[in-house]
Structure 1
Amino acid sequence: MTPAPPVYGHRSPFPTRWNDDDVYGHVNNTVYYEAMDTAINTWLVRVAGLDRLAGPAIGLCVSSSCEYRASASFPDPLEVGLRAGRLGTSSVTWELGILHAGEDVPIAEGRFVHVFVDRETRRPTPVPATIRAAIERDLLAPTA
């Protein structure tokens, strides 16, 4: 039995560009990482209220990975699906999918772990309350 595709609390457009394709004729792996990082941080700023320039806490990526299932090429319209797989005291494990626009089965699945740190000391600090509330409201993946 095939498992159900992941459900993402947020999806953002990821239009491919001419220069995203590599010499093999598909979107290069580095572009997927850029799209995932952009989706996370755009959501944090626009929805969760992260003040990336002056806020007391910032999220640093301490781990990332991506598994590729199928390819895409320019001019394929893609989307990035975003959800939070784990919400800890000072960290968030983001689960992401790269999908053909309007489809539910990811062509790539990524994972980023952000640790929130004090902007000045770079020591771990709790996930800011407004960000925690937005994650709990919009993105926390259901547990099995």
Structure 2
Amino acid sequence: MERMTERLESVKSGAIAASATVVSFEVFSIINSQLGTGDRLGSPFGADPFHWVLSSAIVAVSGFLFGVTYRYIIRDDANPHLKSGGVLAFGLVRGLTQLDLGLYLERPLWPVGVLVLESLVLFAVAGLVLDWAIARHWLKPF
């Protein structure tokens, strides 16, 4: 039964992180559309509903996987490098993929650089929310 409890905690961790990343993503999309940078950044906000839902779903899946992995990364260890390393790993993989695609499509560098920073912030927010949930005993570390 302990194995099932651990799996449930992992699902909870993934759901919390997915929610945090999607909310952060939507906030960034709204800000980018208000600043008029949404088109240059490929913001789905204001785009056709299919693109918006697909982008949000991709962010949710990435956030879920981050949440499950983050719980295992930190365990009961107080080492801050484990936490920041997990955030950087996920943020850089997502962000550098966008950078690579932006360079391939010959987009200007600064908007793509903003996407890299947004990716790092998405996972940093998810990590902070998970730490907050663990501190309140809503979620158990592995």
User: Normalised by the size of structure 1, how large is the TM-score?
Assistant: 0.31
User: Normalised by the size of structure 2, how large is the TM-score?
Assistant: 0.32
Larger proportion of helix: 2
